[in-house]
Amino acid sequence: MNQAAVIAEIADILEETCRAHNLPLALTCVSSNSLKNNKRTLNIVHSACCVNDLGMQGFLKACIGHHLEEGQGVAGKALKSTYHCSVSNVCLLDVADYPFVDDARISGLRAALAIKLMIREGFYRSNVDYVVEFFLPANLEDLEEKTLMDGISASLRKCCENSKTVRAP
Which comes out higher in pLDDT, residue 163 or 47?
Answer: 47
Model confidence pLDDT, tens digit, residues 17-72: 999 999 999 999 999 877 777 788 999 999 999 999 999 999 999 998 788 999 99
41 in Cβ contact with 66 (< 8 Å): no
Closest CA to 74 of 24, 119, 145, 131: 131
Q: Which CATH class is domain 3-167?
A: alpha beta
Q: pLDDT by residue (tens digit) across 116-153?
A: 998 876 666 667 889 999 999 998 988 999 999 999 99
Predicted local distance difference test score (pLDDT) of residue 3: 82
